Amino acid sequence: MRKAKALLFELGQPGRCAVDLPQCDVPEETSENLIPAKFLRKVPAALPEVSQQDLMRHYTGLSQRNFGVDSGFYPLGSCTMKYNPKINEDVSRYSGFALAHPLQDESTVQGALELLYNVEQYLAEIAGMDAVSMQPVAGAHGELTGLKLIRAYHRHRGENRTKVIVPDSAHGTNPASAAVCGLDIVEIKSNSDGSVDIEALKNAVGQDTAALMLTNPSTLGMFETSIKEIAEIVHDAGGLLYYDGANANAIMGIIRPGDMGFDVVHFNLHKTFSTPHGGGGPGSGPIGVKKDLIPFLPVPVVVKQGDRLHLDEERPLSIGKVHAFYGNFGIIVRAYAYIRALGPDGLKQSSQDAVLNANYVLSQLKDDYYAPFERFCMHECILTSKNQKSAGVRTLDIAKRLLDYGYHPPTIYFPLIVEEALMIEPTETESKETLDSFIGVMRKIAEEAKEDASLITNAPQTTVVGRLDEATAARKPVVKWKA
Ligand SMILES: *Cc1c(COP(=O)(O)O)cnc(C)c1O
């Protein structure tokens, strides 16, 4: 096991310094003369004093301990950890974008507004929707915004609909968003093949149905083939359909949520549209809506007036603002660059390749690991550790063993309705060679389970720290340095 690194504070020696400051060109003053005594420290801050080289090595070392798509294969199901092309980073740093102030006069930021307007048009086209708002800053935030729109729509029609139907396979954010929106959740069971149980849906809909939230392809990586019938059942009851677009990487340019009957969708730009994620933000979760919901969109809305772009705040039915200014603009710029670079054919090809890659992984591993569904998958596949159970090996152990081989593990124990799930999403950006190496390692782990399961149940062995008690790490985090 590699030794844990010293803290910067432990490296420090009095008198060392990482910077050379230029000579002072103003009269020198002591802090006592400049700052009232009550604000002055009694004891100097215990800042580390290190040389520039020590500083450089320290942070470079730390950066190499992080795992990201730039360092290796990251098949985290439902998260679409695709490569982030570096031209997106370049473009987002153009000074006209990066240095613009959100309170600048409209006339001085016409280019930025045009970019917002254009991304909205592209996403509306990809989703089959009539309008898009770029304001929400995460998928979950898009869900909350979308549900608020649905609520406003029903209220405006004088209907008090309070129930949101959510399949038991849904991502946890779906019921959470409904609860935060003050709506009640009705959970419906899935069929044995992971699809929506039509009878259960028929029994669940009624005069109080506000919406059905659905992910398609579902969180099991399966396309919901009865979607037309599902949409009809919900619409006939007066409810609306919400599309969780986290899995849109399977469908771009092939099928559109709007054509499937959905009324509101969110996209995760940080998943499908290649903007970086994994460190907790910033993200972007724009929502698209059908015509009837446009009056309720968050303000401001970017509108075209002749050849000028304008931020329209005069929307009497709007739900208001859901984020400061216009959302995470820098992320939107990256998505713009991505969409323009790929074009319609490129986006379609991405989805086709993502589906092909997932099916390749599934086909190569389904003899070694249990595959709970007999169908082709979409952009991600589910396997389980059922075959390894008799050897005492669980899914968590397999995930930890993958760390020893230098891979980020797939998503595990999600979706909740599959016991011991391993959810693998390779994305379209990985080469066949990378997939083959990963497949080779997964097969090796299946062999180890037969021959010496302790290699897996005691993993990881080669990482900076061994197996962590994750519950304690989350409940009693130690985040403060003590002298
Ligand atoms: C990621 C994800 C979400 C939530 O998106 P965030 O951007 O993380 O808030 C919702 N549903 C599904 C299926 C997801 O995979």
Last residue of a domain, one of 342, 368, 395: 342
Asked if residue 334 has pLDDT above 90, the reply is yes
Q: Per residue in 432-466, is it b (16+ CB within 10 Å) or e — as a string?
A: eebbebbbebbeebbebbeeebebbbebbeebeee
Asked if residue 459 has pLDDT above 90, the reply is yes
- Nearest atom in ligand 1 to the alpha carbon of residue 78 is 15
Coil/strand/helix, residue 421: strand
Which pLDDT does position 192 carry in this prediction?
Answer: 86
Structural domain including 219 reads: 86-342
Average pLDDT over residues 2-19: 83
Asked if residue 474 has pLDDT above 60, the reply is yes
The verdict on 330 and 373 lying in the same domain is no
Q: Is 284 in the pocket of ligand 1 (CB under 6 A)?
A: no
Q: Is 285 in the pocket of ligand 1 (CB under 6 A)?
A: yes
Asked if residue 483 has pLDDT above 60, the reply is no
- Nearest atom in ligand 1 to the alpha carbon of residue 140 is 9
Does 63 map to a domain? Answer: no
Task: Report the separation in Å between the CA atom of 448 and the middle of ligand 1, taken as the mean of its atom positions.
Answer: 34
Q: Is 425 in the pocket of ligand 1 (CB under 6 A)?
A: no
Q: Is 209 in the pocket of ligand 1 (CB under 6 A)?
A: no
Which pLDDT does position 3 carry in this prediction?
Answer: 55
Does 338 map to a domain? Answer: yes
Q: What is the number of other CB atoms lying within 10 angstroms of the CB of residue 238?
A: 16
The verdict on 321 and 395 lying in the same domain is no
The verdict on 395 and 275 lying in the same domain is no
Q: Is 92 in the pocket of ligand 1 (CB under 6 A)?
A: no
Does 128 map to a domain? Answer: yes
Nearest CA-CA partner of 290 in 174, 172, 211, 195 = 211
Q: Is 215 in the pocket of ligand 1 (CB under 6 A)?
A: yes
Which pLDDT does position 386 carry in this prediction?
Answer: 98
Question: Over the chain, what is the mean pLDDT?
Answer: 95
Which pLDDT does position 462 carry in this prediction?
Answer: 92
Q: Is 286 in the pocket of ligand 1 (CB under 6 A)?
A: no
| Segment 341-390, tens digit of pLDDT | 999 999 999 999 999 999 999 999 999 999 999 899 999 999 999 999 99
Coil/strand/helix, residue 256: coil
Which pLDDT does position 4 carry in this prediction?
Answer: 58
Q: Is 173 in the pocket of ligand 1 (CB under 6 A)?
A: yes
Which pLDDT does position 65 carry in this prediction?
Answer: 83
Nearest CA-CA partner of 318 in 300, 287, 295, 302 = 295
Does 79 map to a domain? Answer: no
Q: Which residue, by CA, sits nearest to atom 15 of ligand 1?
A: 78
Q: Is 379 in the pocket of ligand 1 (CB under 6 A)?
A: no
Which pLDDT does position 21 carry in this prediction?
Answer: 87
Task: Report the separation in Å between the CA atom of 386 and the middle of ligand 1, taken as the mean of its atom positions.
Answer: 27
Task: Report the separation in Å between the CA atom of 140 and the middle of ligand 1, taken as the mean of its atom positions.
Answer: 6
Q: Is 439 in the pocket of ligand 1 (CB under 6 A)?
A: no
- Residue 1 pLDDT class (50, 70, 90 cuts): very low
| Segment 144-163, tens digit of pLDDT | 999 999 999 999 999 999 99
- DSSP bridge pairs for 423: 382, 411
Does 51 map to a domain? Answer: no
The verdict on 251 and 104 lying in the same domain is yes
Nearest CA-CA partner of 438 in 383, 480, 394 = 383
Task: Report the separation in Å between the CA atom of 72 and the middle of ligand 1, taken as the mean of its atom positions.
Answer: 22
Q: What share of the chain has pLDDT > 90, as a percent?
A: 88
Which pLDDT does position 412 carry in this prediction?
Answer: 97
- Residue 478 pLDDT class (50, 70, 90 cuts): confident
Helices within 237-328 (DSSP H only)? 257-260
The verdict on 146 and 292 lying in the same domain is yes
Does 67 map to a domain? Answer: no
Dihedral in degrees, nearest 10, Cα atoms 182, 183, 186, 192: -80
From 79, 169, 173, 323, mutation site for ligand 1 pocket: most ligand atoms within 8 A of C-beta: 173
What CATH number corresponds to the domain at position 403?
3.90.1150.10
